[in-house]
Amino acid sequence: MQTKSFSALRTEETLCERGQDILAVEAPVHVKVNGIPYTTTVRTPGEDRAFIRGLLYTEGIVPDPEARIGWREVVDPESGLAACVEVTVPTSQVAKDIEGRRSAMGSASCGFCGIREPREIMIAEDPLRPVRDGRLHRRQLPEMVASMQAAQSVFAATGGCHAAAAFAASGQRLAAAEDIGRHNAVDKVVGYLLDRRQLEQVCALVVSGRVSYEIVYKAYQAQIPVVIGLSAVSSLAVEMGGRFGITVAGFCRGGRATIYAHEHRITSE
């Protein structure tokens, strides 16, 4: 269930009208890995398997794309939605000690809320893994944005959902997902690509809103060389993109784009 209808009173100047309004669903889910609580986060439900697989991958908890993952859901009888997901993974495939890594509920808007140590925002690896290369022509950018927007059915119904989409260098859309949170949509896309063994084909990640540092971080973990946003780019996103070797672009709409880091990947040739 990704949308839900609510009674609402609409007003405009002196007019009032009561009717039904469709909203994007936002619901909490608690995630355990091998019996250890990892996080409680909020998401738009319906694609939980892809979301949690992508979350564990982009946060470096289970970075092996071939990891053997078991799955058990505990459903809330009132909502019918998964309230808890228990993931089992061979201990040899869990790369980080998760106990105590998060101290608070993560929100849908911030992928790193609840992380205890500020240094965890930045990659600790030294030297950094080189990001695989990829090239795009400038004319492909509006085409990819249009392709992502064509997949935004929840946004079309509610006006309240973010989207992310992954594209090959040819411009082919490989996966798209929507969620109340920007970074959740990215995790869903990565989860889909892992299941389909297509992650290595991705050249660009397009997101429907602002590009912030957690989007660039997740792109780095997934080794996606280009991140494109329809809205603004934060300073830390640009700094992380420069450090990680990722092309970061924002304000990609109406045939325009502003490229902030590693601009060589977006060409006019």
Strand partners, 256: 253
The reply to whether 177 and 61 lie within a common domain is no
pLDDT tens for each residue of 141-177 = 999 999 999 999 999 999 999 999 999 999 999 999 9
pLDDT tens for each residue of 42-74 = 999 989 999 999 999 999 999 999 999 999 999
Task: Give the pLDDT score at 119.
Answer: 52
Which of the residues are catalytic?
Answer: 110
The reply to whether 101 and 158 lie within a common domain is no
Query: Do the domain assignments include residue 127?
Result: no
The reply to whether 163 and 251 lie within a common domain is yes
Task: Give the pLDDT score at 116.
Answer: 43
Domain total in the chain: 2
User: Comparing C-alpha atoms, which of 36, 55, 98 is closest to residue 192?
Assistant: 55
Given 52, 86, 121, the domain boundary residue is 121
The percentage of the chain sitting over the pLDDT mark of 70, rounded to a whole number, equals: 89
Query: Do the domain assignments include residue 130?
Result: no
What is the rounded CA–CA span in Å between residue 209 and residue 113?
Answer: 19
Given 86, 121, 156, the domain boundary residue is 121
The reply to whether 34 and 151 lie within a common domain is no
The reply to whether 202 and 145 lie within a common domain is yes
Those residues with Cβ within 8 angstroms of residue 190's Cβ, 6 or more apart along the chain or in another chain: 53, 54, 57, 58, 166, 199, 218, 222
Domain of 212 in residue numbering reads as 136-267
pLDDT tens for each residue of 186-200 = 999 999 999 999 999
Task: Give the pLDDT score at 113.
Answer: 53
Give residue for tokens 């060389």. 225
pTM here is 0.89
pLDDT tens for each residue of 84-134 = 999 999 999 998 887 655 544 455 555 555 544 545 555 555 557 888 889
CB distance 84 to 32 below 8 Å? yes
Query: Do the domain assignments include residue 7?
Result: no
Task: Give the pLDDT score at 131.
Answer: 87
CATH of the domain at 186: 3.40.140.10
How many CB atoms are closer than 10 A to CB 222?
Answer: 24
Query: Do the domain assignments include residue 21?
Result: no
Lowest mean pLDDT segment, chosen from 11-25, 138-152, 163-177, 217-231: 11-25
The reply to whether 114 and 237 lie within a common domain is no
Say yes or no to pLDDT of 75 above 60: yes
The reply to whether 210 and 164 lie within a common domain is yes
Given 62, 87, 121, the domain boundary residue is 121
Query: Do the domain assignments include residue 3?
Result: no
